[in-house]
Structure 1
Amino acid sequence: MPKPSTADYPDRLPDFCNLGVMLRILLGVEGLVWTTAWLQKPYLAEMWHLFVGYSVVVQASLLLTLVLLCVLRRPLQRLPYHWGAVASMAVALITTALVMDGLGHLFADAHLAMTWREAVNVIVVSALLLGYFNLRGRALSPALTEARLQALQARIRPHFLFNSLNAVLSLVRSEPRRAERALENLADLFRVVMADNRQLSPLRREVEISRQYLELEGLRLGERLRVVWHIDKAPGNALVPPLLLQPLLENAVYHGIEPATQPGEISVNIYRSDGQLHLIIRNPYQHDGQRHSGNKMAMDNIKSRLMLHFDVEASLHTQIHDDYYQVHITLPYRAAP
């Protein structure tokens, strides 16, 4: 398979509602303000006074601009990239002019007014920021594809395929309908895995895929595997990285159920709270160091995909107790259009 290049991915505007995007813009612009003040007034006392004065205007304009761009995010992203970039710069320019005019009326001695120089500065800085985020997106997109391919290699373990096929073969004569259903589940799982999974997927689809996977595991594990779903409060339209839940459940089976001699229970709890989507998977904890090394690789891959999709807004935490292992994923709630 050819390695993906940056040319394979279209230009796109950043997600202005993303906390990581906001922080990078605020810190980047503040760094430019600091540099400008230092170049104009190299002495610390004078530079600090000038820096504070500049920051009041710049941060007020910037915060209002980010709020407006967040509100207008969907319409802007539907535009062709260049028109969206022009519209974003126009919003920044108009907002800065309004803020400077408002502050000029409040502080008459400050003599604040938008001149051609300030207008050029706003346009140049806006263009630089948009260019940075576009290049960053192009750099991360191949990484996202590589992460998906690594997840594919880690997820489809040979023992799972071998055991699933053996379980299906054992049902062909005695329970042909159940065997047919199992083959359909296996085909669906591989179809999803081999698809282009760069776009976010509705949560209801991820739950459906995970149920199909657990049905396959149930064929060979029988009563050893019990699954409890707490998803009554789960928003089915929430957008999540594709194949996020199924690998976690596969790890739960592989590390928590297979090594045990007694039946074990996997608990899946998904709910929405304060604009955040929570996914909590809990399984029995087995003290098997060799298996746990593979678990760390899977967790690192999922963390990478969460970071690529949601930046600092998503998190993954694991907890180990005497008798159970828990994974808790938090990500921003985004509804499918």
Structure 2
Amino acid sequence: MPSIKQNPAGHPLPDFRNFGVMLRILLGVNLLAFAAALVQSAGIIDCVQRYVDMAAWVQPLLLFNLSLLALLGNLLRRLPPWAGQAVVVFLAAASSFLLLDFWSFMAVDDGGWQRLTRAALLGGLCAGAMLFYFALRAKAFSPALAEARLQALTARIRPHFLFNSLTAVLSLIRAEPRRAETALEDLADLFRALMRDHRDLLPLADEIALCRQYLDLEKLRLGERLNVEWEIADVPVDLKVPPLMLQPLLENAVYHGIEPSGDAGKLHIRFARSGDELHIDLSNPCRSSDAALTGNRMALANIRERLALYYDLEARLETSEVTLPGGLHEYRVHIVLPCRSMKS
């Protein structure tokens, strides 16, 4: 199944289109350049000057290589890992050689085979160092993926939700047996989703369907007190998203927002696409200061961790509590996901 994790398990090559990967490469290579300037300098001022001189040569080379690797990302992943790494090192060495040769042709640099060879070796060594870092990082994240899956399996459905749902179904068996049967099917689908492999992405349509089933079950219990408004605008429903990303947020909205109020409340869910980003907004009424309950924070931390594992720095989750006219309070969650996908 397609996945857009920043570094699929077992593959030492990172996703060069990922913003977090690009940022780490930029910082890593510049730190190496600064370290080289520090070793060669006689003082702080000399170190800064040497680093500025190096940066003028390193930055265009970095940007060129990052653009090239982003274009070749899928091709590199189809190669054996060692071959993909060799290609990356070769591209870095060759581009360093050619750039210095260009500066020599433009009479900006003295050139010479020794300088050209040294530039190629330095470029290749920097690429090798960054690949080694990403390979270590991939191994370090493998246990975290397993741990995130365990968290998703054990912390999604609260025990009292199961008890309340079964109680609501029992009350319908004699009066409305067909509705009770549908509710039990929804409950079975919900728990079946909990047992899936949470390392793979699922279509957005599946996630929305699961959330509708969950809210239908809660509506059995809360009746007219729970009102749900869906707004889905210009969003491809086959877009892949992390599983069980929205359901725990909806569960928080019901248990920390609508249920304690004792009055009818509206849960608003909005999906919208803006360029290459998917924006998801959830809002629900809440009592002041109740949004910071421990259960709420645990679920939010869990989702933030899983988003980081899937998308690195390309996704974000923001929360806020606002005061509406009339003194009412509303809790809001805003999620931003990249719309593109990457075949592993």
Indicate whether 1:332 and 2:332 are aligned: no
Indicate the residue corresponding to 1:4 in structure 2: none
Indicate the residue corresponding to 1:258 in structure 2: 259
Indicate the residue corresponding to 1:5 in structure 2: none
Aligned partner of residue 293 in structure 2, secondary structure: helix
Deviation of 1:150 after TM superposition, in Å, equals: 2.1
Indicate the residue corresponding to 1:79 in structure 2: 79
Deviation of 1:290 after TM superposition, in Å, equals: 9.2
Deviation of 1:206 after TM superposition, in Å, equals: 1.2
Q: Check 1:332–1:76 CA distance in 2 against 1; reply closer, same or farther (3 A cut).
A: same
Q: Is the 8 A contact 1:103 1:112 kept in 2?
A: no
Indicate the residue corresponding to 1:221 in structure 2: 222
Deviation of 1:277 after TM superposition, in Å, equals: 1.3
Provide TM-score, normalisation by structure 2. 0.88
Rounded to whole Å, the distance in 2 between the matches of 1:51 and 1:318 is: 41
Q: Check 1:336–1:190 CA distance in 2 against 1; reply closer, same or farther (3 A cut).
A: farther
Q: Is the 8 A contact 1:17 1:70 kept in 2?
A: yes
**Percent of paired sites with the same residue:** 48
Rounded to whole Å, the distance in 2 between the matches of 1:176 and 1:86 is: 65
Deviation of 1:172 after TM superposition, in Å, equals: 2.6
Q: Is the 8 A contact 1:210 1:246 kept in 2?
A: yes
Q: Deviations over 1:170-219 (max 9, x none)?
A: 22333333222222222222122111111233222211111111111112
Matches within 5 A, 1:111-122: 111=111, 115-122=116-123
Aligned partner of residue 261 in structure 2, secondary structure: coil
Rounded to whole Å, the distance in 1 between the matches of 2:271 and 2:71 is: 28
Rounded to whole Å, the distance in 2 between the matches of 1:64 and 1:43 is: 32
Q: Is the 8 A contact 1:60 1:99 kept in 2?
A: no
Q: Check 1:290–1:307 CA distance in 2 against 1; reply closer, same or farther (3 A cut).
A: closer
Indicate the residue corresponding to 1:162 in structure 2: 163
Rounded to whole Å, the distance in 2 between the matches of 1:107 and 1:188 is: 70
Amino acid at match of 2:265: G
Q: Check 1:290–1:230 CA distance in 2 against 1; reply closer, same or farther (3 A cut).
A: closer
Single out whichever of 313-322 and 247-256 deviates more from structure 2. Answer: 313-322
Rounded to whole Å, the distance in 2 between the matches of 1:86 and 1:174 is: 69
Q: Is the 8 A contact 2:257 2:286 kept in 1?
A: yes
Q: Check 1:117–1:102 CA distance in 2 against 1; reply closer, same or farther (3 A cut).
A: closer
Indicate the residue corresponding to 1:25 in structure 2: 25
Deviation of 1:335 after TM superposition, in Å, equals: 4.0
Q: How many aligned residue pairs are there?
A: 330
Matches within 5 A, 1:206-285: 206-285=207-286
Aligned partner of residue 234 in structure 1, secondary structure: coil
Single out whichever of 134-143 and 266-275 deviates more from structure 2. Answer: 134-143
Q: Deviations over 1:59-89 (max 9, x none)?
A: 2111110011111112222333222222222
Rounded to whole Å, the distance in 1 between the matches of 2:341 and 2:64 is: 25
Indicate the residue corresponding to 1:44 in structure 2: 44
Q: Deviations over 1:9-65 (max 9, x none)?
A: 413311111111111111111111111122122233433333222222222111110
Rounded to whole Å, the distance in 1 between the matches of 2:219 and 2:80 is: 48
Single out whichever of 167-176 and 183-192 deviates more from structure 2. Answer: 167-176
Q: Check 1:324–1:86 CA distance in 2 against 1; reply closer, same or farther (3 A cut).
A: same
Deviation of 1:233 after TM superposition, in Å, equals: 2.2
Rounded to whole Å, the distance in 2 between the matches of 1:257 and 1:165 is: 20
Q: Is the 8 A contact 1:264 1:284 kept in 2?
A: yes
Rounded to whole Å, the distance in 2 between the matches of 1:294 and 1:181 is: 29
Deviation of 1:110 after TM superposition, in Å, equals: 4.3
Deviation of 1:229 after TM superposition, in Å, equals: 0.5
Amino acid at match of 1:60: P
Deviation of 1:289 after TM superposition, in Å, equals: 4.2
With a CA cutoff of 8 Å and minimum separation of 6, indicate the structure with the bigger relative contact order.
2
Q: Deviations over 1:115-139 (max 9, x none)?
A: 3333232222212211211221221
